[in-house]
Structure formats: structure tokens, C-alpha cells
Amino acid sequence: MATGRTHRPATRSRGIPEATVARLPLYLRALTALSERSVPTVSSEELAAAAGVNSAKLRKDFSYLGSYGTRGVGYDVEYLVYQISRELGLTQDWPVVIVGIGNLGAALANYGGFASRGFRVAALIDADPSMAGKPVAGIPVQHTDELEKIISGNGVSIGVIATPAGAAQQVCDRLVAAGVTSILNFAPTVLSVPDGVDVRKVDLSIELQILAFHEQRKAGEEAEGEPAAVPPAARPGASAAADGRKGPDGDVPAVMPA
């Protein structure tokens, strides 16, 4: 899981479970594809397959939205596209700003998936003065000094942080102070925000680490036994660090913060 909210204990939104909300975009994508092929109706089984979930889950999810299907027939594709879009709030325009126009920020600015779903890149912001004015994805980059002006001037409530980790919290604070209440964070840091502000995070290297865990497990199973659970290596003692500890695989790994 690449993501998570900060705070908000058990405040389930409008009765729709969080897990369901997280799947609605998946259904929407699958439905949109069907819509383009002019498929009029679809069964829970078919749609579930297209979205990569099982049909019981899909039907349960849709039951939270209301009874939008027809027994014995299935779901009307166009109608469901509209209902889910509305439920997700995509029937309105969401101006977003992207802060930090490095490789990743530029990729995000160019990403077609945003614009096509009601998200409009209202501004690109970077701290590097030499970037100012340069167009990225056809939008001129503005300097961080303008941040507050841009947010309030465009009524931006969603911000995307693609800065280095060190700058993220500060940028976050300024975004929040200027009125942003939802943040998508690509920087590898835990952001702290006041109540009422939502944060979702995407950490590219975390996903790879989870894959590595399973990959290692596969390799271990091939060779029968489980990978040694608790190696007889040195245990903590009172002192810290530097005791040349080694594990079954070799040396202490070169782990560093991003």
C-alpha cells in the first residue's frame, strides 16, 4: 500500500467505507473504457474482471452508493460512470498546484491522467529562481514566493508536493496556511498537518521494498526451509552501533534516506 491518510479516526465519510472509495476510481476507469467501446450494460462479473476485483466486492461497493443496477441484466454503463464521477466529486473542476518541478514534478505536469479526470494543473511552483518562467508541459513555472498568491487567487484546495524530502514539510505548512486542505505527497517524509487536512502519500521506493520482501520469500521457498528467523548475531547490549554485525546474507546493507 503506497498510501495512507493522516489522522481522521473512524470518521467514515457519508457511510461509504474508505476501502470502497479507494476502489471507485478503478471501477470508473473500467467503465470509461467500456463506454468508449459503446458497451451499453455490463454485469458485475464482467466489470469486476475489468477492474481487477471480485464480483461480490464490487456489488457490495455499489450497494453503498445506491441501487444502480438492474437484476437479471446488469449495470447501465453511462449511468454508472456518471454516478461514480459524481460520488467522487469529479463533476466539478479541481484546480491543483504542483510544487517542486524536478523530474517527478515535470512528469506529473505532463501526466494526462490528471486533466482527463477534472483535475486542472493551475500552476507549477519551484524554489529555483532559474526555473521561473520556463514552461513545463506548456505551463510557466512560478517561484515559491508566489505560492500564497497562486493558491488563494485560483481557489486551489489540492496541492501536490514533489519536492525533495527536506523541503516538504515547509512547503506543506505554507500550502495549508494558504488554504489547501488536501495534499498528495511524493516526498519521502511524514508530513504533519492540522485536523481537517487530508494527506495521501505515494512513495516509489516503498513499493519496491514490498516487492523485494515477497521476492526474497519466493527465493527462500525454492530452497525449501524458511529464511533463518533470528540469526545468532550480536544483540544490542547497552552500547550502540559499530560492532561489525553480520547477517546470513553478508554485510550490513547500505540503507540511506532518499
Partner DNA sequence: GACTGTGAATCGCTTCACAGCA
Partner DNA sequence: TGCTGTGAAGCGATTCACAGTC
Of 43 and 182, which has the nearer Cβ to DNA? 43
How far apart (Å, rounded) are the C-alpha atoms in residues 127 and 83?
Answer: 40
What sign results for the dihedral spanned by CA atoms 204, 21, 191, 240?
Answer: negative
- Interaction of residue 72 with DNA, rule CB under 7 A: yes
Structural contact between residues 97 and 160, judged by C-beta atoms closer than 8 angstroms: yes
Size, binding site for a second copy by CB under 8 A: 114
Q: Which of 92, 93, 114, 95 is nearest to 153 (CA)?
A: 95
Angle at 105 between CA 114 and CA 116, to 5 degrees: 10
Min dist CB 237 to a second copy, Å, is: 8
130's contact among DNA, a second copy, none, with CB below 5 to 8 A by partner kind, is none
Binding to DNA, residues 36-55 (CB under 7 A) = 43-45, 54-55
- Interaction of residue 59 with DNA, rule CB under 7 A: yes
- Interaction of residue 8 with DNA, rule CB under 7 A: no
- Interaction of residue 231 with DNA, rule CB under 7 A: no
Which letter, b or e, does each residue of 187-205 get, where b requires 16 or more Cβ atoms within 10 Å of its Cβ?
A: bbbebebeeebebebbbee
Label residue 157 exposed, middle or buried (CB < 10 Å: 0-12, 13-18, 19+).
Answer: middle
12's contact among a second copy, DNA, none, with CB below 5 to 8 A by partner kind, is DNA
Of 17 and 220, which has the nearer Cβ to DNA? 17
Structural contact between residues 55 and 74, judged by C-beta atoms closer than 8 angstroms: no
101 carries a ligand binding annotation: yes
Of 63 and 91, which has the nearer Cβ to DNA? 63
Using the rule CB under 8 A, which residue among 59, 104, 143, 178 binds a second copy? 104
- Interaction of residue 75 with DNA, rule CB under 7 A: yes
- Per the annotation, binding residues for NAD(+) are 100-105
